[in-house]
Structures are given as structure tokens and as C-alpha cells.
């Protein structure tokens, strides 16, 4: 067993749900109390020149309509997501030796969805969304602190800090979802789900 793993986990075709969202949900539930931060996921994008980019974000929702993340709509990633309309997500759960890869098309979440998630965040996080000019150069730390103080002053006494218009969600609708289970001896288990063209999914085992 790999030293970092707590379980001798395997994945066979008969273990898999027919639907990748159900399969993801099963893994998600299993990870909940075993992985310290299961929602940390790498979001890869492509810019207008075809240059790839990647950064960690938090997975804030998943289901048959897609995988959700939230960010600043003026950020570099937003320009890449809006511009190219495609993205990939990749997570690794070290404690379980599991990887999930998701590729597909992206669109912005509705304003209602973004409002609902924004209002569920702690007050300081909400103010942070107002204060940070994400991906833009800033002079120094003081500028950031000053911007936060301005936001605090602006919304002092307001029960709910409203969502800035330039902050919200993206939904990635997958074209392919891959589940990878690390195995002893490096012959890992790896399965992809791709749409079968009639509303279902084709499942294939791939060489690891």
C-alpha cells in the first residue's frame, strides 16, 4: 500500500454508477470525512493565444447540470473562460489516491445562483470580493487593506453585503469525466465517461 493511503481502494467496471454525476457524488461523499479539503480543485483554462493557464479554486457545487466554481468576473481566468468557453478541472485526493478529471464547456451561472452562494459566505469573504481587484497589479499590501477598509465603511450597518456585479459563478458542463484510482504496483484503475449521443454515457477503461 502506498504510504500516504489509508485504504486499499480499487475501482472496477461493476463498481461504477451508469451516470458520472452519481459516481462523482459517491466519491465526494466518501471523501467528505477522509480528505482535509476535498473541494480544492485545479481549474485549467486557455487564453486567446492558446496558452494554457491553471490555478486552484474551490468546487462549490456539482450535479447533472455541471460543476460550479465562483470567482471575480474581471479576473484573468474569467477572461479565459468567457473568451474560449472551455475549461478543465482536476482534483487529487491524496488520502484516497484518487484523481478526477473533467473537461467541457463553461458558461456563467445565473445571477440568482451567484447571489445565493455569495450570501451564504461569511461577511469577511463577501467584503473581500469587493476589495480585491483580482488578477490586477496593486501597489502594495496597504492598498489592499485600504480597499477592504473602504468596503467595510461603505457597507457598515448593512445586514447583507450585496454581491458585486463582477463576482459570480461558472458552470462547467462536462464532455468527459475521468475517475482514476491509484493501485498498488502502478497498474492503476482508470475509467472515462463520455456522452453516448442518446442521453446516456459510454464508460471505458483506459490504460493508466
> What are the DSSP calls for 127-145, one per residue?
HHHHH--TTS--S-HHHHH
Q: Which of 105, 108, 80 is CA-nearest to residue 165? A: 108
Site for ligand FMN in 52-81 (CB under 6 A): 53, 55-58, 69-72, 75-77
Nearer to ligand FMN, 56 or 119 (CB): 56
From 15-23, 49-57, 117-125, 192-200, span contacting ligand FMN (CB under 6 A): 49-57
Min separation Cβ 150 and ligand FMN, Å: 20
Work out how close the CB of 72 gets to ligand FMN at its nearest, in angstroms, rounded to a whole number.
Answer: 6
Q: Considering the complex, what minimum distance in angstroms separates the CB of residue 178 from ligand FMN?
A: 21
CB of 125 to ligand FMN, least distance (A): 10
In the range 119-138, which residues lie near ligand FMN by CB under 6 A?
A: 134-135
CA separation for the pair 50, 109 (Å, rounded):
24
Of 71 and 181, nearer to ligand FMN (C-beta) is 71
Query: Cα-flanking dihedrals φ and ψ of residue 35, to 5°?
Result: -115, 130
Judged by beta carbon, residue 69 or residue 151, the one nearer ligand FMN is 69
- Output 76 or 105, the one with its CB closest to ligand FMN: 76
Tally of CB atoms within 10 A around 54: 12
Distance CA 87, CA 89 (A): 7
CA 107 to CA 168: how far, in whole Å? 11
* CB 194, min distance to ligand FMN, A: 27
Query: Sign of torsion, CA 188 92 4 34?
Result: negative
Total chain residues near ligand FMN (CB under 6 A): 15
Q: Mind spelling out the 3-state secondary structure of 64-83?
A: CCEEEEEEECCCHHHHHHHH
Residues that bind ligand FMN (CB under 6 A): 40, 53, 55-58, 69-72, 75-77, 134-135
Amino acid at each position: 500500500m502506498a504510504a500516504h493511503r489509508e485504504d486499499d481502494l480499487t475501482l472496477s467496471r461493476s463498481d461504477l454508477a451508469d451516470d458520472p454525476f452519481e459516481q462523482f457524488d459517491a466519491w465526494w461523499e466518501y471523501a467528505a470525512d477522509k480528505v482535509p479539503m476535498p473541494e480544492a480543485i485545479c481549474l485549467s483554462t486557455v487564453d486567446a493565444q492558446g496558452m494554457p493557464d491553471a490555478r486552484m479554486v474551490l468546487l462549490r457545487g456539482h450535479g447533472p447540470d455541471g460543476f460550479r466554481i465562483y470567482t471575480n468576473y474581471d479576473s484573468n481566468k474569467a477572461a479565459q473562460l468567457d473568451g474560449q468557453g472551455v475549461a478543465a478541472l482536476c482534483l487529487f485526493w491524496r488520502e484516497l489516491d484518487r484523481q478526477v478529471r473533467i473537461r467541457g464547456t463553461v458558461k456563467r451561472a445565473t445571477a440568482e445562483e451567484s447571489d445565493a452562494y455569495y450570501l451564504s459566505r461569511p461577511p469577511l469573504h463577501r467584503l473581500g470580493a469587493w476589495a480585491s481587484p483580482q488578477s490586477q497589479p496593486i501597489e502594495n499590501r496597504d492598498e489592499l487593506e485600504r480597499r477592504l477598509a473602504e468596503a467595510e465603511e461603505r457597507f457598515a450597518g448593512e445586514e447583507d453585503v450585496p454581491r458585486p456585479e463582477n463576482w459570480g459563478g461558472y458552470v462547467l458542463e462536462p464532455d468527459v469525466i475521468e475517475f482514476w484510482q491509484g493501485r498498488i504496483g502502478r497498474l492503476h484503475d482508470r475509467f472515462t465517461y463520455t456522452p453516448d449521443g442518446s442521453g446516456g454515457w459510454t464508460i471505458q477503461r483506459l490504460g493508466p
